[in-house]
Amino acid sequence: MQNEEKKDEGFGRRDFLKSAVAGGAVAAAATAAVTVPQGAQAQPAGNGPAPGYAFLNLDEAAFVEALVDHMVPADQLSPKGTDMGLAIFIDRALAGGWGKGDRLYMQGPWKPGVPSQGYQLPLTPAELYRAGIAATNAHCMKTYSKSFDRLDATQRQEVLLGLSSAKITFADGLPVRVFWSTVYQTVIEGMFSDPIYGGNRDKAGWKMIGFPGVIANHAQNIIKYRDKKLPPNFVGIADMS
């Protein structure tokens, strides 16, 4: 059922891609979207192979993949984060309108303010993510002499606890709480948003908790299934399109 945990977490996709960079055209082939044969478009989104990253560079991709696989490990409840499409979801979110600061008021002057005044950084979400990954990796290099993706599970846990409690501070002045809350938000959104956005692959997030998805005509069910589980039938937007 579930995917095997990769044993050597430190040496994976990034090393392959990095070595491929030397090959130029080979690298392009490795990162470009796989050519989709005619007729395959009818496949529900999220079932296809990972189509490559639009925003994340190799180091960032390695960070995000390590992060989502640590936060969402494979177990009897779901595949691991990368296999649920979380890295793809995050990449697309950062590459898209939201990541570019769509619907974000971006006029200065810029001041830190107090927490109750909310987001006040002169950064789009994509810029924040990029700066936060660099700052976290700088912390990891200083503390462990390795980037985040090369840490073992105990060290990764230490770093995430440090970020989430703001016990880690970034030397470059980036506010750690703002970075962490953005990271956390994107992981959750990747797990539970509709699969059309690249995460929640095979509706694994919905299946984990029992959310049936977009078919939701429960006028009869609210009586019929009073204190009973609804029989599993998970439907996403692409299934109805």
Q: For binding to another protein (CB under 8 A), which residues are involved? A: 70-73, 75, 77-78, 98, 101-107, 109, 111, 113-120, 157, 160, 164, 184-185, 187-189, 192-194, 196-197, 205-206, 208-219, 221-223, 225-230, 235-237, 239-241
Give 19 or 221: the residue with its C-beta nearer to another protein.
221
Q: How far apart are CA 169 and CA 159, in angstroms?
A: 11
233: left (phi over 0), alpha (psi -120 to 50) or beta: beta
Prior bond to 109 cis, omega within 30? Answer: yes
Q: How far is the CB of 39 from another protein (least distance, A)?
A: 22
Give 61 or 86: the residue with its C-beta nearer to another protein.
86
- How far apart, in Å, do the first and last CA atoms of the chain sit? 28
Give 171 or 219: the residue with its C-beta nearer to another protein.
219
Token code pair at residue 151: 């840490």
Token code pair at residue 168: 């880690």
Token code pair at residue 122: 């002169």
Q: How far is the CB of 84 from another protein (least distance, A)?
A: 11
Q: How far is the CB of 177 from another protein (least distance, A)?
A: 11
Give 22 or 222: the residue with its C-beta nearer to another protein.
222
Give 18 or 218: the residue with its C-beta nearer to another protein.
218
Q: How far is the CB of 36 from another protein (least distance, A)?
A: 22
Q: How far is the CB of 51 from another protein (least distance, A)?
A: 19
Handedness of CA 232, 235, 239, 241 (dihedral sign): positive
Q: How far is the CB of 234 from another protein (least distance, A)?
A: 11
Report helix, strand or coil for 7. coil
Residue 7 Cα distances to 43, 92, 147, angstroms? 31, 27, 18
- Radius of gyration of the chain measured on its C-alpha atoms: 20
Give 31 or 96: the residue with its C-beta nearer to another protein.
96
Token code pair at residue 105: 């008021």
| Helix, strand, coil % in the chain, rounded to nearest 5 | 50, 0, 50
